[in-house]
Amino acid sequence: MKIEVDLHLHSTFSDGRYSVEAVIDKAISKNLKIISFTDHDTIDGIELANQIAFDRGIQNIPGVEISSEIEGQEIHLLGYFIDTSNSDLIYYLQQFRIERLERAERILKKLKTLGINLSIEEVIQFSESKPITRPHIAFALIKKKIVSTYYEAFEKYLGDNSKAYEKKHHTSPAKVIELIKSCNGITFLAHPYNLSDGKLKEIIKSGIDGIEIYHPTIKKSRQEFLHKLCVEYNLLESGGSDFHGGPRNDYSNFGKFGLYLNQMQKIFDYTNHKRGS
């Protein structure tokens, strides 16, 4: 069997380097049949993705990747089949966009104390109207020749615990799960490669529907452990390449990480049953 489903893709609507159309074309070149754009904390690209995917003869499942936190550790949750007209979701993401801008400004202040003068306008050149992320700041640092590479920007200044790092303000996984449920969506824990058993079980008890166990960061032994956990707690399994493009050089992950169509059918069946159809 071949992997024909990728439920974790990013575009220029968040921190991906390729447009929705370009990512869809790349997905088609890998013979994918079902995809999901799960841009970080934004649903702005979903309508366009749905239309282009339909025109190209593949299916895009409306998705989003939302950040949360447990005891200082950032937790990402993937929402699928979401109602993008839901007012609670729209308000939440608008507030998160404001917080991302404020976080970027805090990072720039820290960079200034290190002798690096970078304006918010220089960063917005890369984020345009999208939520500002650390990669956008990294690209601005490269353009200004403060660093040579994306990885140097994170190693020296932007990575967790680096000199100019600023944490995001997050809500709990339970509240994000509740938000996704209010949109008639289902929730998966994204790439839990480094979560303790205690935090994993806490998130499971919060009401997730499944776990992303097929992902570039999930090693075989971890995958087997997560599979057993899904069986034990009657959870769905998902997967995707988490493709961003650009300096991450991760195009080869297309077609290597994802689901078979029969695995995807379980998600369809579960979602339909949950909605009573």
Q: Which residue has the higher pLDDT, 134 or 49?
A: 49
- 244 φ, ψ to 5°? -120, -35
CATH 3.40.190.10 is held by the domain 5-82+171-274: no
Q: Tell me the torsion sign for CA atoms 133, 138, 143, 146.
A: positive
Give the Cα-Cα-Cα angle 39, 237, 43 (nearest 5 degrees): 15
In this structure, of 121-125, 130-134, 203-207, 271-275, the range with the lowest mean pLDDT score is 130-134
- In 126-139, which positions are buried (b, 16+ CB within 10 angstroms) versus exposed (e)? bbeebbbbbbbbbb
- The 10s digit of each residue's pLDDT in 214-264 is 999 999 999 999 999 999 999 999 999 999 997 778 999 999 999 999 999
d(CA 177, CA 211): 13
Q: Which of 225, 220, 212 is nearest to 263 (CA)?
A: 212
One-character DSSP codes across 220-234: HHHHHHHHHHHHHHT
The single residue listed with the structure tokens 């190209």 is 56
Mean pLDDT score, 48-70: 96
Range(s) within the chain of domains with CATH label 3.20.20.140: 5-82+171-274
pLDDT confidence of residue 246: 79
Q: Edge-to-edge, what's the strand order for the sheet holding 63-70?
A: 63-70, 73-80, 186-189, 210-214, 236-239
d(CA 142, CA 225): 40
pLDDT confidence of residue 133: 84
- 115 φ, ψ to 5°? 85, 15
- 86 φ, ψ to 5°? -65, 125
Fold of 92-158: DNA polymerase; domain 1 (1.10.150)
- The 10s digit of each residue's pLDDT in 87-120 is 999 999 999 888 889 999 999 999 999 999 999 9
Please give the model's pTM, rounded to 2 decimal places. Answer: 0.87
Q: Which residue has the higher pLDDT, 134 or 33?
A: 33
HSE at residue 91, side-chain half, CA atoms within 13 A, is 6
pLDDT at 72 over 90: no
Range(s) within the chain of domains with CATH label 1.10.150: 92-158
